[in-house]
Amino acid sequence: MNTSGSISTVSGSGSVQSHLSTANSQQRLRAPNNPSTPTKSPSSLTPPPLPHSNSLTHALRLFFTSPDSQILVQFIDHPLPNVTRSWKGLTFKWITLMYCFLSFAFTSACIFQYFYVGYPAANLVATAHLPISAPGPQSSRLSPYILSLGGLPQFEPYVLHPSSPVDGITACLWSTDNDDLNFNDLASWASRWPGPISLVLVTASQPHSTSHRQLLKRLNNIKSRPSLTGVSLHLMHSLDRQYSPSAYLNLARLFANSRTVMLFPANLTNVLPSNAYKMLSLQNRPPVKQPLLLTPSAPSAFSVPDLTPMIIPRHYPVWCSERAISASRASDWDDCVWQLWLEEYGLRHVNVSVAIVPEVLVNNDQAISGWARIRDNLRGRYRMEVCEGVIRRMSTGEGVRMTKSAKRRLQWAKSFCRQIENVFKEK
């Protein structure tokens, strides 16, 4: 009995141990519920490291060439392992590239503007020669008024220019470089005119020649004179000595720097009274809008003294027309005054007395006295034809009412043109 009981106990205890052992083995060998799902390690969830600071070139190259834009995902800290190439990503890349290109272009333009264009030039400027016939805004504005310059003249603007901006009425002059006396006359003339001066100096020297370099050297020597600090000097190369007074005054007026200019057609030996600039400055407040002659009394169309100066707005629409046949300063200036007189239905004046000694420039082709008669006949016919055109333009058709001011202008034009016809017939 005892033997069987012990055996049973041992067997029972063995069964218990076997059961516990079997249970533990089953727990250790139990398979996962979803064997197809891979086990994720913690390291696989960590995003790849950002590029090192010394690999910026690699990062930019990856940004603009990688089809998946992984570098953009890393920089904005949104780890999306499978980012496909889309139109949004390409648009962002090209917008960024265009922005960088435009920023570079704008910065380069600003640097060029500051260091090269806006940099103040020296007082003596060795400028490139500008042919009058060359395209450009200034040449195109002036080309209708230059008809008889001949050849291929070359123009050098601002060979001398003021050391500082000068405000006021700009005196527009022209002269030649025949001798040193002209420079002394210029200093004397400028001492009586405290305002700015725009001078066209006509020279027969070839550009870049020895005489041209000597002329520039002489100009460099006189620029330090106190009376010439407000002078803007422009060189005109006229190789055949065919002077064009109206064209030179147009150039001086075009390159003036003030709103009002004074056209001075005479040579530099004729000077203004010492108080002329002060009187004209008072007359120019506010700036004049119409031409004014500098005469001691009110002139008529046929009694304007030769080479009478005139103040005029720089942007006034009428310029002195160049004539095909020119004999002197006085002849060309008389045509200009007549043209302005007709445009303005008469000219007003400023009470300034100027003593002018006329200078006659006779060209070789005009030495024969017959040329003077031909010129006068052409001038008379031209003026009569202009008058007929003006009257025809001002007249309206039948049945159209005219204002009182239009009727007065028409009557004035008819009376003025009738006087011109009588003068022409008397010759």
Model pTM score: 0.62
**Is the distance from CB of 276 to CB of 330 less than 8 angstroms?**
no
**Is the distance from CB of 247 to CB of 321 less than 8 angstroms?**
no
pLDDT at site 90: 74
Contacts of 261 (CB under 8 A, 6+ apart): 169, 170, 171, 172, 198, 252, 253, 311, 312, 313, 314
* pLDDT for residue 3 is more than 50: no
* pLDDT for residue 22 is more than 70: no
Q: Phi, psi (5° rounding) for residue 226? A: -60, -35
pLDDT band at 397 (very low <50, low <70, confident <90, very high): low
Least confident of 83-97, 196-210, 271-285, 386-400: 83-97
Helices (H), 165-224: 181-191, 210-222
The Cα 268–Cα 80 span in angstroms is: 86
For 259-297, the pLDDT digits (tens) are 999 999 998 888 888 888 988 988 888 888 899 999 888
For 217-259, the pLDDT digits (tens) are 888 888 778 888 889 999 988 877 678 888 899 999 999 989 9
Helices (H), 143-209: 181-191
pLDDT at site 207: 85
For 75-84, the pLDDT digits (tens) are 444 444 444 4
Which has more confidence, 142 or 336?
Answer: 336
pLDDT at site 146: 45
Residue 169: closest CA among 257, 260, 232: 260
pLDDT band at 2 (very low <50, low <70, confident <90, very high): very low
Contacts of 253 (CB under 8 A, 6+ apart): 172, 198, 261, 263, 312, 314, 319
Contacts of 202 (CB under 8 A, 6+ apart): 174, 175, 176, 177, 236, 238, 243, 248
For 322-381, the pLDDT digits (tens) are 776 666 788 889 889 998 998 888 888 888 878 787 665 544 444 446 677 777 788 888
pLDDT band at 199 (very low <50, low <70, confident <90, very high): very high
- In 3-state terms, the chain is what percent helix, strand and coil (to 5)? 45, 10, 40
Alpha-carbon Rg for the chain, nearest whole angstrom, is 45
pLDDT band at 25 (very low <50, low <70, confident <90, very high): very low
The Cα 285–Cα 279 span in angstroms is: 11
The Cα 155–Cα 94 span in angstroms is: 49
Burial class (CB in 10 A: 0-12, 13-18, 19+), 371: middle
Distances (CA, A) of 228 to 181, 351, 398: 15, 27, 60
Lateral strand order in the sheet of 130-131: 130-131, 154-160, 231-237, 197-203, 170-176, 260-263, 310-313, 292-295, 348-351
What is the CATH T-level fold of the domain 130-363, as seen in this structure? Spore Coat Polysaccharide Biosynthesis Protein SpsA; Chain A (3.90.550)
Query: Identity (one letter) of the amino acid at 112?
Result: F
pLDDT at site 15: 44
pLDDT at site 37: 46
Average confidence (pLDDT) over 41-68:
52
Which has more confidence, 184 or 133?
Answer: 184
The residues spanned by each domain of the chain are 55-117, 130-363, 368-427
Average confidence (pLDDT) over 84-96:
72
| pLDDT, averaged across the chain | 72
* pLDDT for residue 160 is more than 60: yes
Least confident of 43-57, 147-161, 167-181: 43-57
**Is the distance from CB of 419 to CB of 346 less than 8 angstroms?**
no
* pLDDT for residue 312 is more than 90: yes
DSSP code of residue 241: -
pLDDT band at 55 (very low <50, low <70, confident <90, very high): low
* pLDDT for residue 100 is more than 70: yes
Which structure tokens are listed for 283?
């007359």
Residue 347: closest CA among 299, 380, 409: 299
pLDDT at site 13: 43
* pLDDT for residue 410 is more than 80: yes
Please report the beta strands in 59-188, taking only residues with DSSP state E, as ranges in sequence order: 130-131, 154-160, 170-176
